[in-house]
Amino acid sequence: MKYIIGVDNGSQSTKVMIFNQHGDVIVQASEPLRPMMHREPGWVEHPDDDLWDSVKNVLKAVMAKFEGDPAQIVGLGLCTIRCCRVFMKADGSLAEPVMSWMDVRSYTPFEDRDDIAYTCPTTGYVTHKLTGELKDTAANAFQWQFPIDVNTWQWTEDKEQFDSFKIPREKLLDLQMPGTILGHVTAEVAAQTGLPVGLPVVATGNDKAVEALGAGLVEKGVGLVSCGTYMASMVHGDDYISGPSAFWSNLSCVPNEYLYESTGIRFGMRHVSWFKEILGEELDKLAQSQGLVLEEYLANEAGDVPAGSDGLLIIPDWLAPATDLYRKGIILGLTDQTSRGHIYKAILEGIVLTIKNCYEAMINELGIAPDKVIISGGGSNSALMMQIYADALGVTTTRNEINGAVAMGSAICAAVATGLHKDFHEAVQNMVKQRDEFTPNMDNHKVYTKINDGIYKQLPTLMEGILKQAYEATGD
């Protein structure tokens, strides 16, 4: 039996899984990241060396749990958060705290300094920490941050485009395709983590692309909803499409293929976490006393609430972008009959209807009609949410045995790079397993369609002027 390590270095935590070549999880571990720093308005930074520290700590934890032969681990697939920005000194240490994808400076032109030897996404930085190499995956270099040619997947040869980023070529890392070996684990890192010395570290892609691969999105006729801190929907694409209105073209985790990604929801599934937090510890303890996690307890309370939550509408917009600070979430339709179950279900419905509108705008522009949607990430754990997706979209929704799709996608890249599987399609076929599926209740679908088309789709626009006035009046 051979084994592969999949690393998921996310926005809120780092998760590592060790799989066998059949996609079975042998062992896993995770660690939360520290809270972000906000030194200035619009700045969102990872403190100290938190990203690398968490990767190192979780690798050590997972290797301590692993009871197999480390010599049979053949590769490590590395995925980190996309759209972050790293500034490295010549010795590979940080010249500045890592900028989160939420930091407004992550998307501004490079400002050169003598102490900055390299700038790269977080994948390049963690690759250097693991291997000492100055290499990175091409599929995590975004065209609004770095001078990438989205057709060749290399740094652009267009001088005007390249110069517009103001990054000297010698301060960029060398790019490689997903599914290739970037380097090998150093003796120093092996001593710190328990990884085998010389273990191949494999290029993956940006986190949404890796998640799509790990969820099995490698063909047409299928959609995917990613339920993470940032939520979006995706479909497979063959070509890079410039200038669409309802989606954008993302580099896939499969070389020379693309993902079409809709607009989405900032804060994503953290809207559910927010609700759980404001309910307090007592309800959590009550749920535990009944052998339930809090989401299950709340889902039971929401079980008798009809589709549409008796007119309670929630717009999940808790995290405003720095460019539109007036934006706020909306809760509309409270009555004295509104229960905790109503609010919980309305939050889920608000998330689903928002994604439905983003997803359908994308597929309508593309002129396609997938008959199945895979739901990935933490939201897929909820049978209630899975059914709401099926009812609102009017198509079958499925979830996989492993919803940690990023770690799975990372492992698939490592399996391909090391020859455990001949290509990405064979790896997906052998490693990704569907857990179950949910068929739409068409009566509920009619209710959601009526609510959505009648008011919900227009509600953010209708409320925009009022939210701007409230922001101007309060300054918050």
Instruction: Give percent helix, percent strand, percent coil of the chain, each to the nearest 5.
Output: 40, 20, 40
pLDDT tens-digit readout, 375-392: 999 899 999 999 999 999
- pLDDT of amino acid 475: 82
Question: Residue 361, Cα to own-chain centre: how many angstroms?
Answer: 20
User: Which token pair is 465?
Assistant: 């002027």
Domains of the chain: 3-203 (3.30.420.40), 217-419+433-476 (3.30.420.40)
Query: What DSSP string describes 378-415?
Result: GGGG-HHHHHHHHHHHTSEEEEES---HHHHHHHHHHH
pLDDT tens-digit readout, 167-221: 999 999 999 999 999 999 999 999 999 999 999 999 999 999 999 999 999 999 9
| H/E element, 364 | helix 340-366
Cα distance between residue 352 and residue 233, in whole Å: 11
Average pLDDT value for the chain: 96
- pLDDT of amino acid 79: 98
- The structure tokens 């229960």 sit at 339
SS3 374: strand
For residue 377, which of 40, 8, 64, 118 has the smallest C-alpha distance?
Answer: 8
Cα distance between residue 55 and residue 59, in whole Å: 6
- pLDDT of amino acid 11: 87
| H/E element, 259 | strand 258-262
Q: What is the pTM of this model?
A: 0.94
Cα distance between residue 303 and residue 292, in whole Å: 15
Q: Which residues of 421-456 are buried (b: 16+ CB within 10 A; e: fewer)?
A: beebeebbeebbeeeeebebbeebbebbeebbeeeb
User: Which token pair is 369?
Assistant: 């009609």
**By the 8 A CB rule, do 43 and 105 touch?**
yes
- pLDDT of amino acid 166: 95
- The structure tokens 């309370």 sit at 301
